[in-house]
Every structure is written in C-alpha cells, then in structure tokens.
Amino acid sequence: MKGKGEMVMEQYKQEFIEFMVDCEVLRFGDFTTKSGRKTPFFINTGFYRTGTQLRKLSGYYAQAIENKFGLDFDILFGPAYKGIPLSVATSIAISEQYKKDVMYCSNRKEQKDHGDTGILLGGPIKDGDRVIIIEDVTTAGTSIAETLPIIKGQGKVDIKGMVVSVNRMERGHGEKSALAEIEDIYGFPTTAIVTMDEVVEHLYNRPYKGKIIIDDVMKKAIDAYYEKYRAKM
C-alpha cells in the first residue's frame, strides 16, 4: 500500500516491468558491461523476438510517448538498426491506440544508389516536420551524435524529444545520466517507459509468478551498484 500523498505507479509501467521479466530482457545476477562495470542487472532488448512481443512493446512505447510528448508530431524516427522495428511497430501502435497517423522513418547504415535510393527508410523528412526519436536503451550518446546530422540534413525540423525503454539512471561520460547529457548537449527532452528506480520499487520483495525477483540480497547489490554509479540528475 502507498502512503498518503505518495504517487501510485501507472498500470502500464507495472505491466511493462513484468513484461521485461517474462521476455528475459531484464535479468538479475552478476554481469559485466562493455565498459567493464560489474552490474547486478542486465537489459538485453535483443530478446524481444516475436510479433506478439513487439506488438506489446510498441504499445508501451506509444503510451510513454503520449504521456510525455502528446501526439502533436509528424515522424517517429528509429536509428538503425534496433530503432527500425521500434519505429515501425510503434507507429502502428499509435495508430491503433490513439487513431493518430504518424510516419515512421529510419536510416540505413549505408546509402543505396538504386531502387529505393537514399539513406532513409520509410517516410521522407522535410522542413517543418516535428520528430520524435525512438531508441531501445541509451547508455551513451554515440547513437544520437550519429543520428542527428542525418535527420537535420533532410530539412529544418523540430526534434520534439527522444524515448527509450529503460532509464538506467547511471552515469554516462560525466556525472549525469546518458539521457540528461543528451538533453544538455542537444536541447530536447527525453523520457523512458520506466526508470530502474521504478523497476526496483515494483519488484522488490513482491512475488511474481511464484517467485521473488528482487530479494533482500539482490536489493543490497543494486543499492551498492548505484552507490557507486548513480547519476546526478
């Protein structure tokens, strides 16, 4: 039970956290990141593999976008490669859930010189378009640094914001999180379907399908990790 005045987590966020567990996208244990950090949790969005999973995932993205940015935009841009299915599926979800038609767009890693030529897939980007960028999990700003010149090279556009699935809430290159750094550098807002604080809040000592996902031992390991790596928001 929540105390008086405490916020209750939105239902779609609770469902998304459990969905990540079901898909084995979110796992707890002993892992090492590419940067060499020892971490007690690991998020692998490559485990979203089926049509049913993508359909559900895109629905959560659509709710997060509507909740943070509204639906007053024209293009959903997904950077190659993982952003391609996300932009396609989420544009469908927005159409189905909110009866709003937006174009999807993604970039190719290499430009085609025959057939469907150019560097873009999906809808064209033109002057005046309002764009939301959709990513999986951002741990560094590398992808955005590569993506923005492509988007802005198409015309004078308005980047309304960026959405990812999970805000890991750990330091990027400096003391702030990767999402906060992107906001500072590029000047547009960011959001996530859930934060890791919300994940811990929902799963800590809560039985899910007959199992405690985050017990006292795991909670202590997560706390110790964030004591060392938590970003300054």
| Residues with catalytic function | 112, 114
Task: Give the whole-angstrom CA distance, residue 183 versus residue 38.
Answer: 27
Task: Give the whole-angstrom CA distance, residue 179 versus residue 34.
Answer: 18
CA-to-CA dists, residue 102 to 40, 44, 88, 107, angstroms: 38, 28, 10, 17
- Cis-peptide, bond into residue 81, ω within 30° of zero: yes
Confirm if 76 and 134 have CB atoms less than 8 A apart.
Answer: yes
Q: Quote the crossing angle between the two packed helices 196-203 and 11-22, to the nearest 10°.
A: 80
Q: Which amino acid is at 73?
A: F
Angle at 156 between CA 153 and CA 158, to 5 degrees: 110
Angle at 64 between CA 61 and CA 65, to 5 degrees: 85
Tokens (6 digits) for 133:
């960028």
